[in-house]
Structure 1
């Protein structure tokens, strides 16, 4: 079976795949730094008999969650976004646009 995709389509798919892979790698690096830094902050906080480490943990955790939502849920090529695009295409096709 031959592949009927044009070089332009292959190039666009390759760019999207590289963009998605870079976004996911960025999130993994962000998550790793978050874990390492917050473990260090927790150790420092608890060694001083305090529990202030929860504040940066929660604040940065919110940022990490938002970053994850942008990468995994609503970024280009994400499953949720693709389902919404397909739903809009179907609605437009039904209306004759």
Structure 2
């Protein structure tokens, strides 16, 4: 394997691990918050209190989604534009 191929492989492995971690996060989010909703339904409380952990954790999940699936490196166009601004 060449250095370039080894680097690409390492990058691919890192991306796959990042995606696996993201999907684990989604599963835990759904299971835990589903459990809270079941508790709320069984207790018959009037106010839908699970909205607080759903909202707070949802913000974290959204940022994790952005981090996992957004482009990791800037496009050549954005690099050129930034270089032009610096001069």
SS across alignment from 1:52: coil
Consecutive unaligned residues in structure 1, runs of 5 or more = 1-5
Higher relative contact order (CA closer than 8 Å, sequence separation 6+): 2
Question: Is 1:86 matched with 2:83?
Answer: no
What TM-score, normalized to structure 2? 0.81
Question: Is 1:59 matched with 2:49?
Answer: no
Superposed structure 1 runs of 4+ greater than 4 Å apart: 89-92
Counterpart CA distance in 2 for 1:43 and 1:85 is: 45
Equivalence for 2:12: 17
Alpha carbons of 1:37 and 1:88: their partners in 2 closer, same or farther (altered >3 Å)?
A: same
Q: CA deviation at 1:90?
A: 4.6
Question: Is 1:28 matched with 2:23?
Answer: yes
Moved more, 19-28 or 42-51: 42-51
Consecutive unaligned residues in structure 2, runs of 5 or more = none
Matches within 5 A, 1:1-12: 7-12=2-7
CA RMSD of aligned residues (A): 1.9
Q: How many residues align?
A: 81
Counterpart CA distance in 2 for 1:58 and 1:88 is: 33
